């Protein structure tokens, strides 16, 4: 039996959660003794300067003897966060209308830049002497 056959045999049940640049893989696997455990893998995509990309992965192995406490603590921590900060994401990076708000905030600055350019163009036009090639 080859390495790939062992890996396929080892994975019993899987789910994937795609979340922006991150992907979470939940995999039920089997031990050599035939018991099951859970792996949770976070895979995050990074883009290199040349446009190519790579992934960084972090994996947690969770065994049955830890399920109960893990579940309790995870529920406690997530409930705490929701109670304290609500379900709405407040990070600028994750705001649904962030781009729209950014554009509105940038509009006055953009108008000032456009006004300066128009004034500069107007001055350049007023100071311009029209030369006709017949004059030369």
- Edge-to-edge strands of the sheet including 11-19? 11-19, 22-30, 36-47, 53-63
CATH of the domain at 29: 3.10.450.700
11 belongs to a structural domain: yes
Q: How many domains does the chain have?
A: 2
pLDDT tens digits, one per residue of 56-114: 999 999 999 999 999 999 999 999 999 999 998 887 665 555 554 445 555 555 555 55
82 belongs to a structural domain: yes
> Residue 133 CB: number of other CB atoms within 10 A?
5
Q: How far apart are the first and last CA of the chain?
A: 91
pLDDT tens digits, one per residue of 8-43: 446 799 999 999 889 999 999 999 899 999 999 999
Q: Which domain holds residue 82?
A: 3-87
C-alpha torsion 50→55→56→61, nearest 10:
180
Residues 69 and 122 in one domain: no
């Amino acid at each position: 039996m080859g390495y790939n056959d062992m890996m396929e045999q080892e994975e019993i049940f899987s789910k994937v959660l795609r979340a922006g640049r991150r992907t979470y893989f939940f995999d039920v696997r089997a031990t050599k003794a035939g018991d099951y455990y859970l792996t949770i893998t976070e895979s995050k995509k990074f883009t290199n300067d040349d446009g190519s990309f790579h992934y960084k992965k972090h994996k947690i192995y969770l065994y049955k003897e830890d399920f109960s406490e893990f579940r309790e603590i995870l529920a406690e921590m997530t409930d705490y966060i929701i109670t304290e900060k609500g379900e709405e994401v407040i990070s600028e990076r994750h705001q649904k209308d962030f781009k729209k708000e950014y554009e509105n905030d940038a509009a006055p600055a953009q108008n000032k830049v456009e006004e300066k350019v128009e004034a500069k163009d107007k001055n350049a036009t007023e100071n311009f002497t029209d030369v006709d090639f017949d004059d030369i």
